Structure 1
């Protein structure tokens, strides 16, 4: 009897502990070092890079002078937000003729931390409180004086 309770208790503890294990996730391009070292500035062009490494994760938006291959590893516990544990950005730059000019690797230093303001979003315009929003138009309805204005309303000409 005690042995059955002990085994059931151990099973519950093992199940509970499995929820605390870290979840690993790999995203993006998996860089093959052998293929990467075969890309040479001045020798390769866009076509040879595409054949060797495949299509980039994304390209420069306006001039198509750079290709980016991005990979990211994240980890998280049960219901927590994922945290980046490793990141690699491979940047291949091209000249106007399409020849490779530079192969560069970047890492975790490219991650930007952005903390948005949680209270309210600042906007242009007039500050008003709840009661001004609710009762602000009382008395101004119909006081416009017609299509040419001339009224004495709160927001109209004086």
Structure 2
């Protein structure tokens, strides 16, 4: 390998980590719950009002159970093409009894997440299928020609509002 190429590769390898300061910092999304604040809550005595005062309102509640509050946090960082990559995620789950008293605090890390598959299809609705000719000729006469401004005239050709 020529000496200049070796020097170039060495300099490139040394410069590559220096580019990381150009990258935007990670962003916290959702409700990040501080572990120190969680220590202020006591299962069996803290109420929903206490929880809201200490750590704020939940990100979501369970679908069929209003007594299960979820605090969802995601740490994201922009990647190639401005897509967001998830660096870390966490869910804190608080369970209340029927009277609104805190019963349990659970921490759910990213490894507990389940994959969700999205189905990419549409629901057909009757009467909306247009033929090729309908699609081709459908917009004829719909638009006002440029320059006319869509001004209306009165019957008889007079100016609008004139007697």
TM-score, normalized by the shorter chain, greater than 0.5: yes
TM-score normalised by structure 2 residue count:
0.55
* Aligned residue number for residue 70 of structure 1: 72
Question: Residue 114 in 1 paired to residue 117 in 2?
Answer: yes
Partners of 2:123 and 2:48 lie apart in 1 by: 45
8 Å contact kept, 1:22–1:78: no
The RMSD of aligned alpha carbons is 3.6
How many residues are paired up? 121
* Aligned residue number for residue 43 of structure 2: 41
CA-CA distance at 1:96 after TM superposition? 0.5
* Aligned residue number for residue 27 of structure 2: 25
Out of 48, 52, 55, the position equivalent to 2:54 is: 52
* Aligned residue number for residue 95 of structure 1: 97
TM-score normalised by structure 1 residue count:
0.57
* Aligned residue number for residue 81 of structure 1: 83
- 3-state secondary structure, aligned to 2:36: helix
8 Å contact kept, 1:23–1:78: no
8 Å contact kept, 2:30–2:72: yes
Unaligned runs of 5+ in 1: 1-12, 132-158
CA-CA distance at 1:31 after TM superposition? 1.6
Partners of 2:25 and 2:80 lie apart in 1 by: 7
Partners of 1:80 and 1:116 lie apart in 2 by: 24
Quick check: 75-84 or 37-46, which moved more?
75-84
CA-CA distance at 1:111 after TM superposition? 5.1
Unaligned runs of 5+ in 2: 1-14, 134-163
CA-CA distance at 1:116 after TM superposition? 3.5
